């Protein structure tokens, strides 16, 4: 599997599944990146990856113009008080900068119904053309507009507890996953695809074992196949493959 720096990645999973730590593993591969941290949970990026903290759009623009490569955007008001207009302004700056990537933690916080802020939508729609990558993270995919999901080239699904959230994912991945009523954990029904199984957290040097599944498999069959895998796994649907990695407790 290859992910280009101008592609869109969608990561979802309930709290505590490790989705944010997993997203951080991508950061060293981006030459320029803005990490939008509405809940101030990623301050470790300042030390670990040498991010520069910024708290308002005006300063963000100045720092980008000065050549800062890694910026951690934590809104001055913090938490849920940050307005959608402020977020939209950040997205506008990123979009007009080009050749950059944006990470949005808690993406559902900026969606109004099924509406996406204008400039965030432009990043989703035209990002690849202008070399703008985007990683969107959420614990509530039900609150994410369908267009954002459909524009994502790569989708990583960690454990989702609420059935409404699983159903929303199935609306996008329905051609790969059937019988949503049986999907109560990490392992949906698997049909005629190649299942790639990794035995530890994904790293560049990892070698994955290919297992051809030529006949219809039930939910139980897949669970038995994965019994030796520690912790839990995450799934990624890409092209016509179901790619399963584990463990993800990073």
Q: Which residue has the higher pLDDT, 23 or 51?
A: 51
Q: What does the pLDDT read at residue 133?
A: 95
pLDDT at 5 over 70: yes
Q: What does the pLDDT read at residue 79?
A: 47
What mean pLDDT do residues 31-60 have? 95
Residue/partner pairs of 60-67 with CB below 8 Å, 24 or more apart? 60/34, 60/90, 60/93, 61/93, 64/34, 64/93, 64/97, 64/100
Q: What does the pLDDT read at residue 172?
A: 73
Q: What does the pLDDT read at residue 191?
A: 31
Greatest mean pLDDT among 9-18, 48-57, 76-85 lies in 48-57
Find residue 211's DSSP bridge partners: 195
Q: Would you list the domain boundaries of the chain?
A: 8-157, 183-245
Q: What does the pLDDT read at residue 6?
A: 92
The rounded distance, in Å, linking the Cα atoms of 185 and 163 is: 10
pLDDT in tens, 141-182: 999 998 888 888 888 877 777 888 877 877 776 544 444 334
Confidence of residue 83 (pLDDT cuts 50, 70, 90): confident
Q: Is 204 helix (H, G, I), strand (E, B) or coil?
A: coil
Q: Are strands 234-238 and 241-245 parallel, antiparallel or unpaired?
A: antiparallel
Confidence of residue 196 (pLDDT cuts 50, 70, 90): very low
Could you tell me which of 57, 155, 168, 35 has the C-alpha nearest to residue 106? 35
Decide if 147 contacts 9 (C-beta within 8 A).
no
pLDDT over 70, % of the chain: 66
Under CATH, to which class is 8-157 assigned? alpha beta
pLDDT in tens, 205-248: 433 444 444 444 444 444 444 444 333 344 444 433 344 444 33
The rounded distance, in Å, linking the Cα atoms of 222 and 241 is: 15
pLDDT at 43 over 90: yes
How many Å separate Cα 89 from the centre of its chain? 21
pLDDT at 9 over 50: yes
């Amino acid at each position: 599997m290859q992910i280009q720096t101008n592609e869109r990645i969608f990561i979802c999973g309930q709290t505590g599944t490790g989705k944010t730590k997993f997203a951080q593993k991508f950061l060293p591969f981006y030459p320029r990146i803005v990490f939008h941290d509405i809940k101030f949970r990623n301050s470790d990026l300042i030390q670990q990856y040498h991010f520069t903290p910024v708290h308002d759009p005006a300063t963000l623009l100045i720092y980008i113009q000065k050549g800062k490569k890694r910026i951690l955007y934590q809104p001055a008001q913090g938490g849920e008080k940050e307005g959608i207009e402020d977020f939209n302004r950040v997205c506008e700056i990123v979009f007009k900068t080009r050749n950059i990537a944006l990470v949005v933690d808690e993406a559902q916080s900026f969606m109004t119904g099924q509406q996406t802020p204008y400039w965030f939508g432009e990043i989703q729609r035209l990002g690849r053309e202008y070399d703008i990558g985007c990683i969107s993270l959420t614990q509530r995919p039900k609150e994410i507009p369908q267009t954002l999901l459909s524009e994502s080239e790569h989708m990583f699904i960690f454990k989702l507890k609420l059935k409404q959230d699983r159903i929303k994912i199935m609306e996008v991945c329905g051609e790969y996953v059937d019988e949503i009523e049986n999907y109560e954990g990490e392992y949906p029904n698997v049909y005629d695809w190649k299942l790639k199984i990794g035995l530890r957290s994904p790293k560049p040097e990892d070698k994955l074992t290919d297992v051809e599944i030529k006949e219809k498999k039930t939910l139980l069959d897949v669970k038995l196949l994965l019994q030796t895998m520690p912790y839990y796994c995450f799934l990624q649907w890409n092209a016509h493959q179901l790619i399963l990695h584990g463990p993800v407790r990073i």
